[in-house]
Amino acid sequence: MEYKVWVVDDEPMSLRVVKLELLKRLKADPVFRNVPVIFLTGDEDVKSETIGLNAGAADFIRKPFAAEVMLKRVHNTIELNRLHNDMAREIKMQTEKLSRAYIQIVQALAASVDAKDRYTHGHSSRVAAYSREIARRAGLSEAEQDSIYMMGLLHDVGKIGIQDAIINKTGRLTDEEYAEIKTHPVVGYEILRNIEDYPELMVGARWHHERYDGGGYPDGLAGDDIPEVARIIAVADTYDAMTSNRSYRKALSQEVVRAEIENCKGSQFDPRFADVMLEMIDEDTSFSMREGD
C-alpha cells in the first residue's frame, strides 16, 4: 500500500498514517485485536492523538520520555487490559449461564404443558426441533433458528388454561369444548407477552393455528400476514400431531401424513414450508420423525 507523506516544519509525517493503518489492521484481526497498542510519538497534534485513541490505541507516550515513566505506563496498560479481559470472560460466562438457565426454564414449562395430555410425550420438543430444521433449510439465520426453537417449545403454553378433561377426552368434543380448546393461542399470547426481553415468544403461541387461506384462528390471518415463524410452526405442529398417538386415535402412517401435507399446501400451509416438510419426510426413510414407542 502506498502512503502519502505529509511534511510540517520539514518533519516527515508519513509515520502517523502508517501507524494508524497498522492499528486498524491489528484491531480487525481476531488474533491481535485484544493486544493493547501504545503509540510512541513526537507528534504534538492533539487531533492525531484523538484519532488514534478512537481507532483503538491504548495510550500515547510522547517523546522524549523518561524510561521509568514509560515502563510504569506500559505496566498500567497491561494490567488494565488484563482486567478488561477477565471482566469480558466473566460476563461471557455469566451470560452463557443465564442462557442455559433460560432454556432449561422454557423446557421445563413446555414439559409441564405436555404433561397435561397423557397421550403425548415430548410434543413441544419435537415441534421445536422440526421448526428449527425447517427454518434452517429455508435459509433463516442461526439466530432465527434458535429463536423459532424457543417459540416451538412454548407454542402450546396456553393449554395450561384448558381443562385436563377436555384435553384428554377420548370422544368427539362438543362445540363448547372445542371453543375452549381454541382459546389456547390467545391464553398463551397473554402469558408470553409479559416477557419483555423476549417479545418474539408470543408470536408462535398466538398464530400457529392460523391457516394460509385465512380459515384459521384466533385472528383469521391469511398468507404473508401470518408471521413467517408461525407458518413454520404450523407445519411442524400438524406433522407431529399426525405422527403421535392422541386420545382419540393412533398415530397415522408416514404415507397418510405425507399425503395430508401435500393436499393442504396453499390452504392450511404455506406452500414453501410445506415443501420443506415434505422433503424432510422423504429423507426420513426409517420414519424416525415421530413420537417414540
DSSP 173: P
> Residues 24, 72, 159, 265: which is the catalytic one?
159
* Spatial contact of 37 and 58, defined as CB atoms under 8 Å apart: yes
Q: Is 159 a catalytic residue?
A: yes
∠ Cα 39 44 45 (to 5°): 95
C-alpha cell at 258: 405425507
230 closest CA partner among 257, 258, 201: 201
DSSP 264: T
Rounded CA-CA distance 227/269 in Å is 12
Would you tell me how many other CB atoms lie within 10 Å of the CB of residue 267?
13
292 closest CA partner among 255, 236, 251: 251
Would you tell me how many other CB atoms lie within 10 Å of the CB of residue 257?
22
* Residues that are catalytic: 159
